[in-house]
């Protein structure tokens, strides 16, 4: 209970608060008695100290030091029966209690002895705690019953609004409004929500209940908010109640919010379990389909109807791999501790939702599932046609948005389009190989489409020694210049060929003047001994530039 609530009891009707009035919101857990100041070493946080003040005879500093030490420990206050030894409490001690907001009581007029006050105060605290527990149990049963009878977050928020007579909002872990009371339909309360989100977005994650004040909001009548974090195996968001003025929360208010946040956590855990079960069934179906455990096309279509699969049009499969954790570690789950496993699965689920949200922006219907450590996106192609170049650009734009907005770096492998569902296994292999090719070329955050006769595929059929010899022979003409100039000339020549010999585009990509590009290319031509646009010789240079990443990858 609060120290103010204890001293409002009949037992302390003659007690006088002489200092530290601003600290009456401190919570009292236990009561203790002392006669000597060195007992401070045995006090605990939340403890009220009853004393006869005999040590004050040693001087005012002894009481001041005791108040400071108790405040550092986290005690809730001190009550002195000063007239027992005809003492007076120094003004300096009263001033220090005011400065520290540490309640200081004079209890000389209380009829009871210190021992009796200790006993009766302890009984009051225990009775109050029992009442709180009974109230908390009743509230918990009420909200739990709502969930058991099919109510959802909206029902809990509505009931909570009526109980507390305050607007309620629940923000999820992304600080997006998951549910709110009807009062937030007004423009003013909507502005409160926006102000709250701005404030919380600039703060670290809050893990304990706290009272906050919106200083910059125009809605002053609801500027104080009670914030209760909702935590399951991860941080789920905040349950927030808006109040009319800044005041100490009653125990009933706090208990109601606490139990509501606990029940919301249970509901979110249940939802997550249902989602994971549904996702597991989907993953098992597609895993069987990819691994060839489904025998006929008819069976595949029949079982796939629940996931939107039909025999109209074709599909293309994308394999998505996160590059910043959460993917490859799945195979090590059995060796992890429970907390680390939950953290990894939580991050994996977050990545799944972020990727799914981004792919929802595509003008295609799709179904998403997991296979090993990959996120797979199966996209429907109604007309069985796919412009590969445009499609790769679309996917590349999505991966960039994922990185810029959500700090999630992913690479994507794209298999060839297919019509029969039973061919999904082959497409998965193609998408996986496309990813592998990109990694072998030391690329990151890439989108790689599988090509059956890709140039890289042909290069890999040639021994590395022959590729190295071809590469060195091609660029041997540049060896007569120093290494820095050689690198500059080759980079210019490479970009020149990549831009289809466009001078303006080459200068733009290199961030140099057009005349600089012309000068470098002329020098390249003189060193090579032929015109750079010669079809045969330019092909030789292009091939050498294409070989370079493979040589670097094999060297690493």
User: What CA–CA distance (Å, rounded) separates 132 from 24?
Assistant: 19
Dump pLDDT digits (tens) for 30-47. Answer: 999 887 667 778 888 999
Determine the pLDDT at residue 202.
87
Question: β-strands 210-213, 168-172: how paired?
Answer: unpaired
Residue 414 binned pLDDT confidence (cut-offs 50, 70, 90): very high
User: What CA–CA distance (Å, rounded) separates 419 from 385?
Assistant: 11
User: What CA–CA distance (Å, rounded) separates 51 from 70?
Assistant: 13
Q: Which residues pair with 168 in a beta bridge?
A: 241
Cα torsion 62, 66, 72, 75 to 10°: value is -170
Q: What percent of the chain has pLDDT over 90?
A: 29
Determine the pLDDT at residue 332.
47
User: What CA–CA distance (Å, rounded) separates 301 from 283?
Assistant: 16
Which residue do the tokens 């595949």 mark? 300
Q: Which helix (H) or strand (E) holds 428?
A: helix 424-440
Lowest mean pLDDT among 156-165, 357-366, 387-396: 156-165
CB 168 within 8 A of CB 181: yes
Lowest mean pLDDT among 3-17, 48-62, 538-552: 48-62
Mean pLDDT of the 311-317 span: 81
Mean pLDDT of the 366-381 span: 92
What separation, in Å, do the N-terminal and C-terminal C-alpha atoms of the chain show?
66
Mean pLDDT of the 180-193 span: 71
Whether the per-residue pLDDT at 184 is higher than 70: the answer is: no
Determine the pLDDT at residue 472.
92
Whether the per-residue pLDDT at 401 is higher than 50: the answer is: yes
For every residue of 11-39, which 3-state class applies, written as one string? HHCCCEEEECHHHCCCECCEEEEECCHHH
Whether the per-residue pLDDT at 347 is higher than 90: the answer is: no
Q: What percent of the chain has pLDDT over 70?
A: 87
Q: Pick from 410, 394, 278, 432: which is nearest to 354 by CA?
A: 410
> Cα separations (Å) of 373 from 106, 223, 352, 376?
68, 46, 11, 10
User: What CA–CA distance (Å, rounded) separates 270 from 471?
Assistant: 60
Which residue do the tokens 């006769």 mark? 453
Lowest mean pLDDT among 249-253, 337-341, 447-451, 458-462: 337-341
What letter does residue 2 receive in the DSSP assignment? Answer: B
Q: Is 437 exposed, middle or buried (0-12, 13-18, 19+ CB in 10 A)?
A: buried
Task: Encode burial over 521-534: b for 16+ CB neighbours within 10 A, e otherwise.
Answer: bebbeebbeeebee
Q: Which domains does the chain have, with CATH numbers?
A: 3-125 (3.40.1390.20), 151-271 (3.30.450.40), 294-452 (3.30.70.270), 458-555 (1.10.10.2840)
User: What CA–CA distance (Å, rounded) separates 230 from 80?
Assistant: 41
3-state secondary structure of 177: strand
> Cα separations (Å) of 513 from 291, 506, 516?
55, 9, 5
Q: What residues have CB less than 8 Å from 465, skipping those under 6 apart?
A: none
Lowest mean pLDDT among 30-34, 272-276, 477-481, 542-546: 272-276
Task: Encode burial over 369-395: b for 16+ CB neighbours within 10 A, e otherwise.
Answer: bbbeebbbbbbbbeeeebeeeebeeeb
Whether the per-residue pLDDT at 335 is higher than 60: the answer is: no
Name the residue with higher pLDDT: 23 or 234: 23
Determine the pLDDT at residue 218.
55
Mean pLDDT of the 404-423 span: 90
User: What CA–CA distance (Å, rounded) separates 462 from 554?
Assistant: 13
Whether the per-residue pLDDT at 180 is higher than 70: the answer is: yes
Determine the pLDDT at residue 145.
79
DSSP of 333-391, one letter per residue? Answer: GGGS-HHHHHHHHHHHHHHHHHHHHHHTTSSS-EEEEEETTEEEEEEEETTS---HHHH
Residue 460 binned pLDDT confidence (cut-offs 50, 70, 90): low
Determine the pLDDT at residue 186.
63
User: What CA–CA distance (Å, rounded) separates 512 from 8?
Assistant: 80
Lowest mean pLDDT among 96-110, 331-345, 449-463: 331-345
Residue 326 binned pLDDT confidence (cut-offs 50, 70, 90): very low
Residue 362 has a CB neighbour count (10 Å cut-off) of 15
Determine the pLDDT at residue 176.
87
Residue 39 has a CB neighbour count (10 Å cut-off) of 15
Residue 237 has a CB neighbour count (10 Å cut-off) of 24
Residue 224 binned pLDDT confidence (cut-offs 50, 70, 90): confident
Residue 168 has a CB neighbour count (10 Å cut-off) of 26
Dump pLDDT digits (tens) for 62-112. Answer: 888 889 999 999 999 999 988 777 778 889 999 999 999 999 999 988 888
Residue 483 has a CB neighbour count (10 Å cut-off) of 9
Whether the per-residue pLDDT at 325 is higher than 60: the answer is: no
Residue 369, Cα to own-chain centre: how many angstroms?
Answer: 22
Mean pLDDT of the 163-192 span: 79
Determine the pLDDT at residue 328.
47
Determine the pLDDT at residue 185.
63
Dump pLDDT digits (tens) for 1-15. Answer: 788 888 988 888 889
């Amino acid at each position: 209970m609060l120290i103010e609530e204890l001293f409002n009891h009949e037992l302390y009707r003659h007690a006088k608060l002489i200092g530290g009035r601003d600290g009456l919101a401190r919570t009292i857990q236990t009561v203790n008695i002392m006669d000597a100041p060195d007992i401070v070493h045995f006090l605990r946080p939340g403890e009220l100290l009853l004393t006869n003040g005999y040590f004050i005879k040693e001087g005012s500093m002894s009481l001041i030091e005791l108040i400071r030490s108790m405040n550092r420990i986290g005690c809730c206050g001190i009550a002195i029966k000063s007239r027992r030894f005809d003492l007076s409490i120094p003004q300096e001690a009263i001033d220090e209690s005011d400065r520290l907001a540490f309640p200081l009581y004079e209890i000389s007029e209380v009829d009871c002895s210190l021992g009796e006050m200790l006993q009766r105060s302890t009984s009051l605290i225990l009775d109050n705690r029992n009442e709180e527990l009974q109230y908390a149990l009743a509230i918990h049963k009420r909200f739990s019953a709502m969930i058991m009878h099919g109510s959802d977050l909206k029902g809990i928020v509505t009931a909570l609004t009526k109980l507390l007579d305050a607007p309620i909002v629940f923000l999820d872990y992304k600080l997006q409004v998951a549910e709110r009371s009807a009062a937030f339909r007004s423009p003013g309360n909507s502005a409160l929500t926006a102000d709250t989100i701005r404030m919380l977005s600039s703060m670290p994650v809050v893990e304990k209940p706290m009272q906050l004040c919106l200083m910059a909001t125009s809605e002053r009548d609801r500027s104080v908010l009670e914030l209760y974090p909702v935590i399951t195996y991860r941080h789920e968001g905040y349950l927030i109640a808006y109040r009319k003025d800044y005041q100490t929360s009653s125990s009933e208010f706090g208990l109601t919010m606490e139990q509501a946040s606990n029940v919301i956590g249970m509901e979110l855990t249940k939802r997550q379990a249902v989602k994971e079960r549904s996702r597991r069934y989907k993953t098992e179906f597609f895993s069987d389909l990819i691994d060839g455990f489904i025998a006929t096309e008819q069976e595949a279509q029949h079982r796939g109807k629940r996931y939107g699969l039909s025999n109209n049009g074709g599909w293309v499969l994308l394999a998505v791999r996160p590059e910043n954790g959460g993917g490859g570690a799945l195979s090590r789950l059995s060796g992890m501790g429970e907390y680390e496993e939950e953290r990894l699965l939580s991050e994996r689920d977050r990545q799944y939702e972020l990727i799914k949200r981004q792919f929802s922006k595509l003008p295609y219907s799709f179904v998403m599932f997991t296979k090993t450590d990959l996120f797979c996106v199966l996209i429907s192609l109604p007309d069985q046609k796919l412009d590969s170049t445009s499609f790769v650009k679309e996917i590349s734009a999505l991966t960039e948005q994922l990185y810029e907005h959500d700090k999630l770096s992913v690479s994507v492998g794209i298999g060839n389009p297919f019509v029969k569902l039973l061919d999904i296994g082959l497409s998965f292999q193609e998408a996986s190989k496309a990813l592998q090719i990109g990694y072998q070329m030391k690329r990151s955050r890439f989108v790689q489409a599988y090509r059956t006769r890709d140039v890289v595929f042909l290069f890999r059929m040639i021994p590395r020694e022959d590729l190295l010899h071809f590469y060195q022979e091609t660029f041997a003409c540049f060896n007569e210049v120093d290494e820095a100039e050689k690198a500059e000339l080759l980079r210019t020549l490479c970009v020149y060929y990549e831009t289809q010999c466009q001078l303006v585009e080459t200068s733009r990509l290199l961030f140099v003047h057009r005349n600089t590009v012309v000068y470098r290319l002329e020098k390249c031509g003189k060193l090579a001994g032929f015109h750079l646009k010669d079809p045969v010789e330019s092909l030789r240079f292009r091939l050498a530039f294409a070989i370079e990443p493979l040589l670097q990858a094999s060297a690493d």
